[in-house]
Amino acid sequence: MARPHSIGTLHGSDLRMHWSWPLLPVGVAIYSLAMQPWRAALYSIFLILAAYICVLAHQAIQLLAARRFGLGTRDVTLYPFWGVARLTRLSERPWQENYIAASGPIVFGIIAAVIGAILVADGTGLSPPDALAAPSVPLFMLQLFWSNVLLAGLHLLPVIPLDGGRILRASLAVSTSRLRATEIAAGVTTVAAGVMILAAIFWLKSPLLGVTAALLYLGAQEDLGTTRYFASLRHTAGDRPHAPAVLVPMDQILSPDCRPNEPNFSGFTWNAHARLWIEWRDGQPVSANALIGDGQP
């Protein structure tokens, strides 16, 4: 599968575009131009781009929430209706992920509330829009309102990599390992994706829902693979070396930007300067891994 392409930065983090991100507007443009007048087609494209801006705002707020807890981000990959951030610290008990993930649906709710207040003040109302209505600014705002309502509902689903799935995993990781929590969340995602595909085929007749389900399933499997990889790198108490097991200068291995804030931290931190993942156990560095470098995970 094609690797994400870098398109800029977001709060200092590399902003990447998944191959599916530009595919949706292009698909909407082709379908709309084939079925509707060009003005209506252009209207549909602008609506998709406005929803993309809302998703980007959602991701930006989550990056700020991560920084609130001292968590940096290596990069952010944009999908059509969500984003995936790779953090610089992976904890075995990532309770802070709950708070970061919860900010996502709240952002969509705030955007919908602001648009809804404007529509009510204008006398338009908030009834679901008529699909056959002529394009207009009030209709555009009304459809954007419902788009944010649907995005908030989507992100509340307990499937990874959506916010609801991250909340589920973080909650499970309080009482079990991150790997086991991810396995459970990935299993829930598989079931949910199957239900969405069946609904897309037999009920809603929606190719978009089917593609979204497939992307969610693939994203969950990628997250599960990443978590399993880190689990395979962990040292147990019996084989813990006395010093980080890599032949690079110590000042590069333990630079200030990769030291955890918690005194008894267990997990991984990313050293951006040395391009290494440092494993910590009870606040002590036990190994460094350069195999994954800038690639996945």
pLDDT band at 252; cut points 50, 70, 90:
low
- Report the distance separating Cα 63 and Cα 71, nearest Å: 9
Q: 101-122, pLDDT tens digit by residue? A: 999 999 999 999 999 999 998 8
Delimit the domains of the chain by residue range. Answer: 1-156, 159-233, 240-289
3 state DSSP class of 150: helix
State the Rg of the chain over Cα: 21
pLDDT band at 167; cut points 50, 70, 90:
very high
Beta bridge partners of 292: none
Looking at residue 144, its pLDDT comes to: 93
User: Looking at per-residue confidence, does 175 or 187 come out higher?
Assistant: 187
Q: Average pLDDT for residues 49-72, to the nearest whole number?
A: 87
Looking at residue 265, its pLDDT comes to: 83
Phi, psi of 256 (to 5 degrees): -60, -30
Return the structure tokens found at 80: 């059509």
**Distances, alpha carbon 30 to alpha carbons 34, 36, 40, 44, 208, in Å:** 6, 10, 12, 11, 14
Q: Would the CA dihedral through 274, 277, 281, 287 be positive or negative?
A: negative
Looking at residue 9, its pLDDT comes to: 81
Question: In this predicted structure, which of 59-73, 102-116, 239-253, 282-296 has the lowest mean pLDDT?
Answer: 239-253
Q: 203-239, pLDDT tens digit by residue? A: 887 788 888 899 999 999 989 998 888 888 775 544 5
